Amino acid sequence: MSTLARQRQEQILEQIRRNGGVRVSELVDSLQVSDMTVRRDISQLADRGLVVRVHGGATLADAPHSSYEPSFRTKLGEEREEKLAIARTAAELVTPGSAVALSAGTTTLALAEQLRDVPDLTVVTNSVPVADALHDPDRRDRSVVLTGGTRTPSDALVGPVAVQALRDLHVDLLFLGVHGFSERTGCTSPNMTEAATNRALIAAAGKTVVVADHTKLRLVGLATIVGLDEVDVLVSDSGLGPEDQAMLAGHVGRLLVAELPERTEQPGQPGQPGRVRRTRP
């Protein structure tokens, strides 16, 4: 590790110790480095057992974190570029005339916005924002089915009512947003009831497509939704390093990597949002 990186990580650790936690955006401003550099520093501190990665930042290693659930509004402003690229890539999997399910989440909301022009579409969702994004009384070729249930901080409708509504439904594809994913814990949620509802969505689907940006890798929520080996397709972004891409490609049925523009610290030609690098046929 370089001296500069070591000094930077010491500053990060000091801020976390002083405040109990820190957001990536705050560190980008205070350290005057890129988002990617901050996330790499946090990952290295986490590997040393000094901090725990949470959505959008880090906390001390002994702080409670697996049940922490940021609000929908908070998540909506994070990783916008990544979510848009993932949404464009995932939308290519949807064909006219199909029936799809979308779980709650800000990445699935970005996907819903990309699906507005797909004709003859039936959408099942437990997300109020997703249902609102696709509702159009003038589009008679589109049906939107919104489950009932109890609303969570992520604007998901969950619980027995939602599960019962899904029990007799059958869709071609499920697009599943997750709190975090890893080789050890699979795809997780900080909310046990939401995890159970997501498992009902999986049971209703012919194939499960997880949509999750690179910042969620090795984040761990309280409850496992599905193991990586049970995921048919994972759509993420090129913020994933080569080793992580190889690991994920060895677990999921198919890995799609949406290309992002090159960061200023990375040499090479800029990419285009939404371009796909397929790491597994």
- Element of type H or E holding 177: strand 171-177
SS3 265: coil
pLDDT computed for residue 66 by the predictor: 56
pLDDT computed for residue 277 by the predictor: 60
Residues 251-262, buried b or exposed e (16+ Cβ, 10 A)?
bbbbbbbbbbee
Whichever domain contains 24, its CATH number is 1.10.10.10
Choose the final residue of a domain: 65, 99, 117. 65
pLDDT computed for residue 47 by the predictor: 82
pLDDT computed for residue 126 by the predictor: 97
Domain shared by 29 and 155, yes or no: no
pLDDT computed for residue 74 by the predictor: 66
Domain shared by 61 and 78, yes or no: no
Domain shared by 82 and 37, yes or no: no
Encode the chain (281 residues) as per-residue pLDDT tens digits: 677 888 898 889 888 877 767 889 989 999 999 999 999 999 888 887 788 888 788 887 654 455 556 666 667 767 889 999 999 999 999 999 999 999 999 999 999 999 999 999 999 999 999 999 999 999 999 999 999 999 987 789 999 999 999 999 999 999 999 999 999 899 999 899 999 999 999 999 999 999 999 989 888 888 999 999 999 999 999 989 899 999 999 999 999 999 987 654 433 333 444 556 655 44
pLDDT computed for residue 139 by the predictor: 93
Domain shared by 204 and 98, yes or no: yes
Domain shared by 252 and 198, yes or no: yes
Choose the final residue of a domain: 26, 43, 65. 65
pLDDT computed for residue 98 by the predictor: 97
- Element of type H or E holding 233: strand 233-237
Domain shared by 82 and 108, yes or no: yes
Residue for token pair 């848009």: 84
pLDDT computed for residue 163 by the predictor: 97
Choose the final residue of a domain: 65, 94, 115. 65
Domain shared by 180 and 42, yes or no: no
pLDDT computed for residue 236 by the predictor: 97
Q: Which domain holds residue 164?
A: 74-278
Nearest by Cα to 59 from 37, 39, 42, 75? 42
In the chain, the number of structural domains is: 2
Radius of gyration over every alpha carbon of the chain, rounded to an integer in angstroms: 19
What is the C-alpha to C-alpha distance for residues 46 and 131, in angstroms, rounded to an integer? 37
Domain shared by 235 and 122, yes or no: yes
pLDDT computed for residue 270 by the predictor: 37
Domain shared by 130 and 170, yes or no: yes
What is the C-alpha to C-alpha distance for residues 234 and 29, in angstroms, rounded to an integer? 32
179: alpha, beta or left? (left if phi > 0; alpha if psi -120 to 50): alpha
Domain shared by 58 and 105, yes or no: no
Domain shared by 79 and 215, yes or no: yes
Joined together, the tokens standing for residue 22 give 């820190």
Whichever domain contains 100, its CATH number is 3.40.50.1360
